[in-house]
Amino acid sequence: MTSPGPRILVLEGNEQQRQALAAVDPGAAVLVCPVPATPLWRQITDFRPDCLFLDADLPDDAGFKALAETRQDDELAPIRVVMLTEDESQDSRRRAFIAGADEVLRKPYTADQLLATVKAMTRFQVHFWGTRGTLPVPGPGSLRYGGNTSCISLDVGLDRHFVFDAGTGLRQYGQYLMERENGRFNGRIFISHPHWDHLNCLPFFTPIYMSGNQISLMGPPQGVRTLRNLIDGQMDGTYFPITADAFAADLTIEDLFEGDFRFDGVSVRTLRLRHPGNCLGFRVDHLGHSLAYITDNELGDLDPGDPYLVRLLEFLKDVDVLIHDTTYFDDEYPRKVNWGHSSISQVVRLADAANAGKLFLFHHDPEHGDDDIDRKLQLARQCAVELGSPVQCLIAAEGEVLEVGR
């Protein structure tokens, strides 16, 4: 009988590891082969796996050569590849992802961990930690959707972690990591722009003070001021008593510009938005899932042929999940022109034109309480109906977890 699960080929050079895989679920279609008993390429082409585990520690880089050959073959390129290695360094992981691996699994590993890796490879999970704009708004008017400012996290695959913005929601994420992971965090924090509601909680992110964590902080410079300058200025002792020298994590701070990138094997695109200063929007695509985070952006009443709108629509085309600034009601927007934010109908029309799957209303005016946000959702859905649009309109609620996928 053919197994309903994926076909898995494991090319492992370590005999003890191969023996450990003897306990693999007999219902899984798994073939474990010693290497280099026969040419790796022959084993891959003969078995035609859905998922391939390749030993990265083989002599003469045989595992990486097999990965390259797999990626160069049009018929085999769709195979999902996991590199197996004893090397725990970030350089080793980075090399595997640059070479085209979809995942990295450290040795030693068990049969259960191998199967769990296959299952986790398609994880694309969003967690909302803060969804308000401008100011945090504690109190009875923010009990349903939360009162923290902009911060979301995206977990990709087995253990890749991306965070977008460091508003007050970042403290919530830090507390979550302390409780669930003992504060361990190896990942990237992307800053859309350095306005207070997107940066001011970085000094309160506990994992950044913990030795052993490896964190990359990236965001756009502002004129001649680099992101490093901006963070040092925020924590120079004048506005906050602790300086950035107290960060104990292995921290890199880099300027980020508009463009197409691959971070840890994941496609990340950036686009400059219509907002005062240098503000970036982000799109993440991985293994068929996609997310766009457009936190501060003024759509206004742009002509359909406006060059910015054309570029924005291309950037957002067919995205599974669009998280977009919906700060104002339509009747409020005329009094807020050039403030850098959008209204409900403007955003729904954008989501429809981009063929987005789900639209999450985000970055609400601090004057808007939960009841106002409920009304925003009602008006957004009404607008979608009037457009005949299939886009699903939702509210980004603090604490909500979303598995991305149509």
| 358-362 vs 392-395, strand pairing mode | parallel
Count of CB atoms situated within 10 Å of the CB of 109: 18
Q: What is the pLDDT of residues 273-292, one digit of tens each?
A: 999 999 999 999 999 999 99
Query: What does the pLDDT read at residue 6?
Result: 83
Higher pLDDT, 191 or 65: 191
Q: Are 123 and 155 in contact (CB under 8 A)?
A: yes
Residue type, 101: A
User: What domains are defined for the chain?
Assistant: 7-120 (3.40.50.2300), 124-403 (3.60.15.10)
Distance separating alpha carbons of residues 271 and 344, to the nearest angstrom: 21
Write the DSSP assignment of 174-243 as a string of letters.
HHHHHHHHTT---EEEE-S--SHHHHTTGGG-GGGGSTT-EEEEEE--BTTB-HHHHHHHHTSSSSSSS-
pLDDT tier at 4 (50, 70, 90 boundaries)?
low
Is residue 28 pLDDT above 70, yes or no?
Answer: no
Q: Which helix (H) or strand (E) holds 260?
A: strand 259-263
Query: What does the pLDDT read at residue 406?
Result: 44
The neighbouring-strand residues paired with 215 are 187, 251
Q: Are 158 and 174 in contact (CB under 8 A)?
A: no
| pTM above threshold 0.85 | yes
Instruction: Find, among 28, 26, 84, 91, the residue nearest to 57 by Cα.
Output: 84
Distance separating alpha carbons of residues 325 and 298, to the nearest angstrom: 8
Q: Are 164 and 192 in contact (CB under 8 A)?
A: yes
Distance separating alpha carbons of residues 97 and 90, to the nearest angstrom: 11
Strand, coil or helix: 25: coil
When computed from its CA atoms, the radius of gyration of the chain, rounded to whole angstroms, is: 23
Instruction: Find, among 87, 40, 43, the residue nearest to 60 by Cα.
Output: 40
Distance separating alpha carbons of residues 101 and 361, to the nearest angstrom: 34
DSSP state of 167: S
Query: What does the pLDDT read at residue 99?
Result: 93
Is residue 91 pLDDT above 90, yes or no?
Answer: no
Q: What percent of the chain has pLDDT over 90?
A: 70
pLDDT tier at 11 (50, 70, 90 boundaries)?
confident
Q: Are 131 and 116 in contact (CB under 8 A)?
A: no
Give residue 30's Cα distance to chain centre: 30
Strand 80-85: give its sheet, edge to edge. 29-34, 7-12, 51-55, 80-85, 103-106
Distance separating alpha carbons of residues 275 and 303, to the nearest angstrom: 18
Query: What does the pLDDT read at residue 38?
Result: 57
For range 54-58, the mean pLDDT:
90
Q: Which helix (H) or strand (E) holds 282?
A: strand 280-286
- Determine the angle formed by the axes of helices 370-387 and 344-353, rounding to 10 degrees: 40
> Cβ neighbours of residue 363 under 8 Å, at least 6 residues apart?
131, 132, 133, 150, 295, 296, 325, 326, 327, 341
Is residue 1 pLDDT above 70, yes or no?
Answer: no
Q: What is the pLDDT of residues 99-123, one digit of tens each?
A: 999 999 999 998 888 889 999 999 9
The neighbouring-strand residues paired with 362 are 325
Structure tokens at 206: 């506990």
Write down the number of H helices and E strands in the chain. Answer: 11, 19
Q: Are 370 and 141 in contact (CB under 8 A)?
A: yes
